[in-house]
Amino acid sequence: MTESFAPGVRVRDLTVVYKTPAGELPALAGVGLTLAPGTITGIVGESGSGKSTLALSLLNAVQPPGRIKEGSVEIDGLGDVVKLDGEDLRQVRGRKVGYVFQAAQNSLNPLKTVGKQLLDLGRSHDVADLQALVRDARELLGRMGLDGARVLDSHQHELSGGMRQRVGIMLALVLNAHLVVLDEPTTALDMITQATILRIVRDVHHERGLTTLIITHDMGVAAEVTDSLAVMYGGRVVEHGPTTEVLGAPQHPYTQGLIRAIPRLSGDIDEARALPGRPPTLGTMPREGCVFRERCPLRMDVCDTVDPAPVTRGERTVACHAVGHQVSPPRRKEYA
Amino acid sequence: MITGTGITKTYKQRGHILGGRDVQALRGVDFDVKKGGAVTFIGESGCGKTTLGRIVAGLETCDSGEIVIDGTPMSGLRHRQRQAHFRRIQLIHQDPYSALNPTRTIYQTLHAPLALRARQTGRSKAWAEERARELLTLVGIDPGYVLPRYPHQLSGGMRQRVVIARALTVDPEMLVADESVSMIDVSLRLGILALLKDLRERLGVSVLFITHDIATARYIGEDGELYVIYRGQVVERGPTETVISAPVHPYTQALLSAIPVLRGVERPGAERVEPTEALDERHVDTGCLFARRCPFRTDECEAERPSLGNGGGTPQEHACFHPRPRSVIPVEACA
């Protein structure tokens, strides 16, 4: 066992491009994001916002036709992951950084029992004591409310969606990784199963002293478990700060619009408003100026030409020209 | 408009070495959708809500029970006659990415049913073209932009609008929307919901909304009815607002408790309910189907299965021996 410590992560000026017939288009354009050690950070964004690309970059696992063009991803104890390659990189993945893939049902081998896959994982990382590994796995599964022995003897089709998701979390943690990335951990799960998985993520995070990153499109999921929240749009982090502050007093017009677009269980339902327009794709991303301006209620002349740089005040970071000009956030502004 | 009584449906699992096991998807469900009304089915996946939606849309038959459309029972009718009735009820699929034929332009997709209708009713070809444009405008997209395009050239939200426009080509009186927004980007979801709400208000189309996201049910119709389905049985049913704000069945309470709290804006309800164990479909008890997972179960619950009714004088119907309203939903935090 390695000593337990939760690493901090600093992503700086990260640009990831995808090769398309129209040339190399940026999926991430100079993203900066800091994960404080021992915290749960959430990244929310719509499809095409670059959130999954950012998560893959933490493992330096962006696949062609994509590539990391510039920037760095520094993880405490590992250095700049972008510079790692070959065997060094393989050792980092799984052992230092655990990754729970989107749609856990598709990331398990249907032909092998969970136990066999666990042993494969152990061998590929040269674990000397495989029996101890199995013991750890059983303990972890038990901790998550499953019968460890039974699950290890099962094939994936014998497990429910919620159980597979827990197996995914177990495989990410069993090598004692202290940085864990969960990509859409609850998509396709039921409400009640989702609540269970989120509680497990939180409990395990605290018990094992992890740094956790959760990627989701569901504001509710992020609100439920995270300490700090980053909102992504069009390949940029447009707002980042403590979760309760970002939700309670959003500053970026996109965050404000997104929160207003969630139908809620109490209060006046007609206060919910759809955001006009639609999110940009790689091809329709504006080359200059703010990527959100087409849908923005606060659009100004400067937005057409200058991409707003993230400005940090205290614990909060916002990338918007309009913020800072105004005294209070325009929460009551009507959307067309 | 359409009522169902005692609908049951069992799927037989074949090809299993031991003969397989039967899955009872619906265990005697009654429902009633009024003309221009809004009804929502909620429940976990596998609770039978999709099966029920397909039965309502005429895409699936039931094993027993009776469906009556505008006073006409469906059981005695021939296939063709039944089809004519069910044509007035159109299903909107969950996945707008697979619901449209990828080799046809939107023009072709919309024009085919309209041209058929024009022939049947003796209208001109020009009417079909005009109607296609009208429908697209109605669902909020620009016909000039969309008509010549193929589905892959459109975003998910636009595709779902096209699917809705296609359903409207036959002038349906009811739309069955099965998880119709779950695959659409969050910022665009509300637009589709607003469209369904608008169609209901302007055209008087009834909407049957099937979802696991209870908050969206509220948006579609505050004046509507909410059915909570658990393992093929309706366990609670009543006006949407009542069931959400004062649920009496522990299952409804567990479902509502599981909804994430927007911390910073809301705080959790005071009496959140959590099931005592995970769902295990293999156990079919003679008593209440939820008893095993219910934190409030008594011996009575294990001995007998409660049926839907107003026991305890609640405003909504429920299938529970011990109905008690609990405040489980998140409440607005005072700033």
Shared-domain flag, residues B214 and B329: no
Q: Per-residue pLDDT averaged across B57-63, rounded? A: 89
Which chain A residues are closer than 8 Å to B330 by Cβ?
264-266
Find chain A residues with C-beta within 8 A of B245's C-beta: 266
Q: Is A2 exposed, middle or buried (0-12, 13-18, 19+ CB in 10 A)?
A: exposed
By C-alpha distance, the chain B residue nearest A254 is B187
**Interface touch B187/A219, C-beta < 8 Å:** no
Amino acid B20: pLDDT: 60
Q: Of B145, B171, B197, which residue sits at a domain end? A: B171
Query: Looking at the partner chain, which of A47, A243, A278 has a beta carbon nearest the beta carbon of B263?
Result: A243
| Minimum-distance CB partner of A47 among B185, B261, B265 | B185
Considering only CB atoms, which chain B residues are within 8 Å of A247?
262-265
B21 pLDDT above the threshold of 70: no
* Other beta carbons less than 10 A from residue A212's beta carbon: 27
Domain containing residue B280 = 247-335
Same domain, B192 and B147: no
Compute the nearest-CA separation of B254 from chain A (Å): 7
Residue A121 dihedral angles phi and psi, to the nearest 5°: -60, -45
Q: Which of A203, A179, A200, A177 is nearest to A189 (CA)?
A: A200
Provide the 10 A C-beta neighbour count for residue B1.
19
Judged by CB atoms closer than 8 Å, whether chains meet at A195 and B332 is answered as no
Is residue B271 domain-shared with residue B205, that is, in the same domain? Answer: no
Tell me what ipTM this predicted complex has: 0.82
Facing residue for B258 by CB, picked from A194, A275, A281? A194
Which residues of chain A make contact with B181, given a CB cutoff of 8 A? Answer: none
Residue B162 in domain: yes
Q: Are residues B199 and B68 in the same domain?
A: yes
Mean pLDDT along residues B117-135: 90
The verdict on residue B95 lying in a domain is: no
B296 or A287: whose pLDDT is higher? B296
Domains of chain A: 9-96+177-318 (3.40.50.300)
pLDDT band with cut points at 50, 70 and 90 for residue A1: very low
Please judge whether A244 and B260 are an interchain contact, meaning their C-beta atoms are less than 8 angstroms apart: no
Q: Is the pLDDT of residue A336 over 50?
A: no
Q: Do A266 and B332 touch (CB under 8 A)?
A: yes
- Looking at the structure of chain B, the number of domains it has is 3
Which pLDDT score is estimated for A335?
A: 43
Q: Do A278 and B260 touch (CB under 8 A)?
A: no
Instruction: Find where tokens 């607003």 sit.
Output: B194
Q: Which amino acid, B271?
A: E
In a shared domain, residues B9 and B143: no
Q: Work out the end-to-end distance of chain B between its first and last CA atoms, rounded to an integer number of angstroms.
A: 45
Instruction: Convert the pLDDT of each residue in B180-193 to its tens digit.
Output: 887 777 778 888 88
The verdict on B11 and B84 lying in the same domain is yes
Question: Are B118 and B178 in the same domain?
Answer: no
Q: Let me know if residue B94 belongs to a domain.
A: no
Q: Are residues B82 and B106 in the same domain?
A: no
Same domain, B302 and B229: no
Q: What is the pLDDT of residue B194?
A: 87
* Same domain as B177, residue B151: no
Q: Which of A316, A192, A180, A182 is nearest to A255 (CA)?
A: A316
Q: What is the pLDDT of residues A70-92, one digit of tens each?
A: 999 999 988 898 888 888 888 88
Residue A52 or residue A189, greater confidence: A52
What is the per-residue pLDDT across A237-282, written as a single tens digit (0 to 9) for each?
999 999 999 999 999 999 999 998 888 888 777 778 888 887 888 8
Binning pLDDT at 50, 70 and 90, where does residue A176 land? confident
Which pLDDT belongs to residue A334?
Answer: 44
- Pairwise CB contact (< 8 Å): A191 & B190: no
A258–B189: do the CB atoms touch at under 8 Å?
no
User: How many CB pairs below 8 A link A and B?
Assistant: 128
Residue linked to tokens 């892959």: B152
Interface of A with B (CB under 8 A): 46-47, 145, 160, 162, 190-196, 198, 217-221, 223-224, 243-249, 257-259, 261-267, 269, 272-275, 278-279, 281
User: Is pLDDT of A23 > 90?
Assistant: no
- B74 and B212 share one domain: yes
With a cut of 90, say whether residue B16 has pLDDT above it: no
Taking only the tens place, the pLDDT of each residue in A301-312 is 999 999 898 999
Read off the pLDDT of residues A196-249 as tens digits, 9 standing for 90 and up: 889 889 998 998 899 999 999 888 899 999 999 999 999 999 999 999 999 999
Nearest chain A residue to B254, by CA: A192
Tell me how far the alpha carbon of residue A100 is from its chain's centroid: 10
Per-residue confidence band for B250, with pLDDT thresholds at 50, 70 and 90:
very high
Q: Is a pLDDT exceeding 80 seen at residue B266?
A: yes
Q: How far is A175 from chain B (nearest CA, A)?
A: 28
Task: Indicate whether B302 and B160 sit together in one domain.
Answer: no
The pLDDT, as a whole number, for residue B19 is 57
Domain's final residue, options B148, B171, B194: B171
The alpha carbon of residue A315 is apart from the nearest alpha carbon of chain B, in Å, by 16
A56-65, A274-283, B254-263 — which is least confidently predicted? Answer: A274-283
Cβ-Cβ contacts under 8 Å, B256 against chain A: 265
Query: Does B210 map to a domain?
Result: yes
> Per the domain annotation, does B252 fall within a domain?
yes
Taking contacts as CB-CB distances below 8 angstroms, the residues of chain A near B265 are 223, 247-248, 259
B211 in a structural domain: yes
Q: Which of B187, B210, B245 is the last residue of a domain?
A: B245
User: Is B112 inside any structural domain?
Assistant: yes
The length of chain B in residues reads 335
For the domain that residue B22 is a member of, what is the CATH number? 3.40.50.300
B262 inside 8 A of chain A by CB: yes
Distance between CA atoms of A93 and A75, rounded to whole angstroms? 12
